[in-house]
Amino acid sequence: MPAASGTHTAGRPLRLPRSARRKQLLEAAQEVFVAQGYHAAAMDDIAERAGVSKPVLYQHFPGKLELYLALLDTHSDAIVAKVREAMAATTDNKQRVEGAMRAYFEFVDHESEAFRLVFESDLVNDPAVRERVERVERGCVEAITETIMVDTGVSRDFAELLASGLCGAAETAARFWLAGGRRVPKDEAEQLIAALSWRGIASFPITGRDGGPA
């Protein structure tokens, strides 16, 4: 059924500002991609869901892949920004770990469709899609690496590996939590994984001569 709200007035198409129209088209596309998967989705379906003609859709996006990539860019930037905000919000490292876990779980909880698009894409073998998924992973790791270096004294190589493990634990746990039907309350799930991660990361001492753990 077309998402007609805000798209027609008295039988005539409502002319939205370009940014508002783009947002509307992306929202409709997300619904279709999540419901049908990339390969089964058609531009006709997306135009119908948005309540616009195909020419209007093509004015903003030249093809289905470009539309899909625009969605990935939007949500990729969002999750990386959440992790960066968690690092900048406090100087208490325990709270930073808790904030990083919360960033993943909140993204999964409130943006579950977006999370599936980024991390469970059926187009993951496409180079452009894979590049964006890897950009998310790199961005989240980079957001945490500097903090680990400063506060543990380990080298960048060690810090990046630790940050990768921290992000991997958060992503995997959040995906498992979502797939399992959110059986554990979100706050408790965040605290559980944060406690596990903190107990590991907090044990790292100042570096030895090789730049690794002493």
* pLDDT tens-digit readout, 54-89: 999 999 999 999 999 998 888 888 888 889 998 888
pLDDT at 202 over 70: no
- What pLDDT was estimated at residue 133? 83
What is the average pLDDT value for the chain, to the nearest integer? 82
Q: Where are the domains of the chain?
A: 13-62, 70-201
**CATH superfamily, region 70-201:** Tetracycline Repressor, domain 2 (1.10.357.10)
Q: How far is CA 104 from CA 75, 112, 162, in A?
A: 12, 11, 17
180-193: b (≥16 Cβ within 10 Å) or e:
eeeeeebeebbeeb
The domain defined by 13-62 folds into Arc Repressor Mutant, subunit A (1.10.10)
Name the band, by pLDDT with cuts 50, 70 and 90, for residue 9: very low
Amino acid letter, residue 58: Y
pLDDT of residue 110: 80
pTM for the structure as a whole: 0.71
What percent of the chain has a predicted confidence (pLDDT) above 70?
Answer: 87
The confidence score (pLDDT) of residue 211 equals: 47
- What digits encode the pLDDT tens for the residues 104-127? 898 888 877 777 777 777 777 889
The confidence score (pLDDT) of residue 204 equals 63
Mean pLDDT of the region 188-200: 87
